[in-house]
Amino acid sequence: MPASASRRTASRPAASQDTSSNSAVEERVYAAISNALLSGRLRPGTPLRERALAEALDCTRGALRKVLARLGAEKRLVLEHNRGAFVPSPTAQDMRDVYRARRIIEAGLVATLFGKITAEQEAALRRHVQAEHKAFKEGRREDAIRLAGEFHLLLVRMAGSEELLGYTSQLVANTELYKALFDSVDAAICAPTEHEQIIDALAGGTLRRALDKSLTHLDHLEQRVIAGAAEEQPVELADIFSAKPPRGKTVR
């Protein structure tokens, strides 16, 4: 084998390892920022300055930019040209618009699924709610918020529409963030309890009752996050990623 070919062959494993290492770093950074958002530690309007954040997360600014772009595409962050990335500061009207869209979708889902859920699907929904309860009891706020949103995406998957799943996933990502930013301690166990009521109504109630449980659940969410919307608070990024979740916040 020519020496040049031998060198090319020898370099491939190293290149593969570098790609794998970069991906691992990006996933670690993505998880850290996502968890900080869903735990409520990052407040509305907080600027995510690249230098400070890269130092806090021990990563390159290049890796950080990829993660920020990903979170921006998911609408979990706001990206402004020549200004950087910011935690969203939704207005009350912004939140009302998103919840209105979710109510329209949820009503269609309930009408589609009512009386048609199989025993296996019902069991899967109940296992999911058990995971929600467990996450809350163990104080894993970000996991509990994520699981609460995934309950609704599970319903979409059961309806069998991939196109609807993509749109609903975006709406759920928005409302997950609203809950993390603004939901109160008083609503601690509402999500899994109300999800159980939705399952009961879908499996053995009436269509009217199923619609009422589903839409009332979203009404309560909307009312709480709007009522709990707080003013912007300055934060230090170095403290955010080593701090515990703030008191007075809990999962919904």
Residue type, 193: T
Task: Dump pLDDT digits (tens) for 60-114.
Answer: 999 999 999 999 998 889 999 889 999 999 999 999 999 999 999 999 999 999 9
Q: Could you tell me if 129 and 13 lie in one domain?
A: no
Cα gap 102→215, rounded to integer Å? 9
Q: Could you tell me if 83 and 176 lie in one domain?
A: no
pLDDT of residue 30: 94
Kindly tell me the burial class for residue 152, based on how many C-beta atoms sit within 10 Å of its own C-beta (0-12, 13-18, 19 or more).
Answer: buried
Q: Could you tell me if 220 and 103 lie in one domain?
A: yes
> Any idea what the CATH number is for the domain that residue 183 is in?
1.20.120.530
Cα gap 176→208, rounded to integer Å? 27
- Does 236 reside within a domain? no
30 neighbors 67 (Cβ within 8 angstroms): yes
Task: Dump pLDDT digits (tens) for 155-192.
Answer: 999 999 888 999 999 999 999 999 888 886 556 567 89
**Dihedral angle sign, alpha carbons of residues 6, 11, 16, 17:** positive
Q: Could you tell me if 85 and 97 lie in one domain?
A: no
Which domain, by its residues, includes 125?
A: 92-227
Token pair belonging to 82:
């020549």
144 neighbors 133 (Cβ within 8 angstroms): no
Q: Could you tell me if 84 and 126 lie in one domain?
A: no
Cα gap 184→230, rounded to integer Å? 11
- Does 98 reside within a domain? yes
Query: Residue 68 — φ and ψ, nearest 5°?
Result: -65, -40
Task: Dump pLDDT digits (tens) for 195-244.
Answer: 999 999 999 889 999 999 999 999 999 998 998 884 445 555 565 565 55
- Does 206 reside within a domain? yes
Last residue of a domain, one of 73, 89, 105: 89
∠ Cα 161 165 171 (to 5°): 145
Number of other residues whose CB lies within 10 A of the CB of residue 252: 29
Q: Could you tell me if 70 and 117 lie in one domain?
A: no
Nearest residue to 214 (alpha-carbon basis) of 195, 233, 241: 195
Q: Could you tell me if 117 and 129 lie in one domain?
A: yes
